Amino acid sequence: MRWLAIGIVAALVYSTHSALDIHVPLASLIATLGAYALVNAASALRLQDAWRERFAVSERELLAQLLIDVAALSALLYFTGGAVNPFAVCYLLIVLYASVALPQRLAWSIAAACMLSFAGLHLLRVPLPVSDPASADRTLNYSAHFAIYLALAALVASGGVRLSEMRRLYLARAAADAQKEARERYLVGLATLSAGTAHQMSTPLSTMAIVVGDLRDSGEPPQDWKQSIDMLWSQIQICRRSLEAMAHSADVERLGKIQSLRAEQFVLDVAERFGALRPEVRLELQCARLDKALTLASDPTLPQALLNFLGNAADASPQSVRMRAWLKQELLLVIEVLDRGPGIPPSLRERIGNGLVTTKESGRGSGAGVLIGRAAVERFGGTVQISDRRGGGTRVQVELPLFRPHAAIKGEDDDYRQLGIA
């Protein structure tokens, strides 16, 4: 834009002096244009790749460059009639560029410099030596309008080309970011699913290790060896089902895609899967009446998170655990997992769920299940709260956002309906 401005001004000076017979101070104008051209050439060298990599262009440097533009325009106007020169409107172009390229406080500095310069040119100027002022004014106005039209056309054209290029780059980057997000979502989901499956398998593997150890230590087959073999077989089946569920859910399209599930069906599916994984544990399921239109966003890692909490509760109280579900504020699905285990020691209450903290015996758990479950729930905008249960045990409360809510009954103990899953 500077080179364009220098070329237009040089052409106008030549035509004004030769064709219009207006004798402007050529020496002063040529000196001003020459100095302006030297500054622009130095700026072009400054913006070469080598210099730009070493020294980034700061906002203050850009402010200084625009102040040079104001000074050059003021000098040219001073020698060509001052503020009455129609080219004084070019101050607005500088202010317009500063408002886009600079922060607000620096843009106001450029605007103040332009206003002060325009006001000063009413007092300090070299009048144009013209014999017919009316004819000269018309000629200068026409020339100014033509030059400003050229400058604006060049500015709009260059800006349009740049905007088109930026839009193309934006769309390409958006597509690349979407693919990257899908890959990361799949990898995070796969890692969560794998870790959850490993956590589920830790209990049957520990049981198998104990049974096999007892069998190895006995000199001869114990009386209940058939029962031990049956227990090993059932625990192996639990591991097999866990691995099959992980392999089935780890499909790229299945795991990377977020599905919309009915809230009530989600709760029932989790309960059914837990019954298949831990058939020896009685599950007391209580679910308030939920409108069938209520849905939640889910992928295979979300039910895995609930299974982790249920598995921990079953480890704490192997006889039975309780899961309750109801609506809160018509937009939140609340799921509680309750056990009658030893509870959470006060020293671990603040740390559990935020790191690898466990209340189990050494070798029977690492605390990863709670950590994985909380991460999976939070991925879908939910929350997890872990506290002591009244009367003894642990209470895990999960809140998940719902969509397309309709009328629902907020659940209390008397409002639950037993679904008969044990």
The residues spanned by each domain of the chain are 2-131, 258-422
Position 366 scores a pLDDT of: 47
DSSP-derived secondary structure letter, 84: G
Pairing of strands 383-388, 394-401: antiparallel
CATH domain 258-422 topology? Heat Shock Protein 90 (3.30.565)
Position 187 scores a pLDDT of: 61
State if pTM tops 0.95. no
Position 74 scores a pLDDT of: 94
* Residue numbers of the chain with a pLDDT score lower than 70: 17-22, 50-53, 129-141, 143-144, 147, 151, 159, 182-200, 202-203, 219, 221, 241-242, 244-257, 345-369, 405-422
- Cβ distance 384 to 373 under 8 Å? yes
* Best CA proximity match to 201, nearest among 149, 162, 241: 241
Position 248 scores a pLDDT of: 59
Tell me the per-residue pLDDT of 78-116, one tens digit each, with 9 for 90 and over.
988 888 887 888 898 899 889 888 899 999 999 999 999
Where does residue 216 rank: exposed (0-12), middle (13-18), buried (19+ CB within 10 A)?
Answer: exposed
Q: Bridge-partner residues for 384, per DSSP? A: 398
* Best CA proximity match to 159, nearest among 93, 225, 104: 93
Main-chain dihedrals φ then ψ at residue 124, nearest 5 degrees: -115, 110
How far, in Å, CA of 213 to CA of 208, rounded? 8
Q: Please state, in angstroms and as integers, the Cα–Cα distance from residue 288 to each residue in 75, 335, 398, 422, following that order.
A: 81, 10, 15, 17
The beta-strand segments (E) located in 131-271 are 259-262
Position 374 scores a pLDDT of: 82
How far, in Å, CA of 39 to CA of 34, rounded? 9
The number of CA neighbours under 13 Å toward the Cβ of 129 is 7
Positive or negative torsion for Cα 252, 253, 257, 261: negative
Q: Which two tokens stand for residue 241?
A: 């089902």
